[in-house]
Chains A and B, each alone.
Chain A
Amino acid sequence: KQEVTQIPAALSVPEGENLVLNCSFTDSAIYNLQWFRQDPGKGLTSLLLIQSSQREQTSGRLNASLDKSSGRSTLYIAASQPGDSATYLCAVNWDDKIIFGKGTRLHILP
């Protein structure tokens, strides 16, 4: 069985700080790992997709890393802004389905 855990569950940081969100998964036999953003009452926005053969992906101020053998991924957000406030979900593509973590609720203080 695949389980995805995200730490911390919630995080508040002042604007401008760099921050790291953590994700771990129990079965390393994944096809890929994806980070999503979800605003309250809204759908999922895909941020970054890392294939199982890759180590990291970057998009603007976001950088995601993947260490498949240890079952870990991190999402690094540089120079945080109030508009980054949202819930961030980590998800692994495993056994033809996506298994999600419960998310990290991020609040950037102006």
Chain B
Amino acid sequence: GAGVSQSPRYKVAKRGQDVALRCDPISGHVSLFWYQQALGQGPEFLTYFQNEAQLDKSGLPSDRFFAERPEGSVSTLKIQRTQQEDSAVYLCASSPARANEQFFGPGTRLTVL
């Protein structure tokens, strides 16, 4: 079956622009996660959904970052007024249930000029 997909794969934004990154999890997976990976670093947790409920957003770096999963499937990570330090790869992962293995998408590489 299909894995986790993300779009766009690459995004270039001018500083100050808003961006929206999409994640399509594996069908039926209840849990969905967003991670941010800066160049040369390991991925860092941003936020976690159980169905449509956002249970943990402790990793979101600022109030410019917003994530939603309104119908419990597709999720969107939105970054408002992008800054250069937002440049990173944004990874999405899904899991069939809490504490199960997480399956990662290919990521969206965001470059803010």
Contact = CB atoms under 8 A, between A and B. Distances in A.
A31 B109 CA distance: 29
A97 B33 contact: yes
A96 B101 contact: no
A96 B106 contact: no
B101 A46 contact: yes
B99 A98 contact: no
Interface residues of B, number: 24
Given A31-B99, A103-B42, A97 B56 contact: yes
Interface residues of A, number: 22
Contacts of A80: none
A101 B44 CA distance: 9
A44 B101 contact: no
Contact of B104 (A32, A44, A49, A96): A44
Given A93-B102, A96-B56, 20 more contacts: A4-B42, A31-B99, A32-B101, A42-B106, A43-B91, A43-B104, A43-B106, A46-B101, A89-B42, A89-B43, A91-B43, A96-B48, A97-B56, A97-B59, A98-B45, A100-B35, A100-B42, A100-B43, A101-B42, A102-B42
Interface of B: 31, 33, 35, 41-45, 48, 55-56, 59, 91, 93, 98-99, 101-107, 109
Q: Which 6 A-B pairs have the closest CB atoms?
A: A100-B42, A31-B99, A43-B106, A97-B45, A44-B104, A102-B42
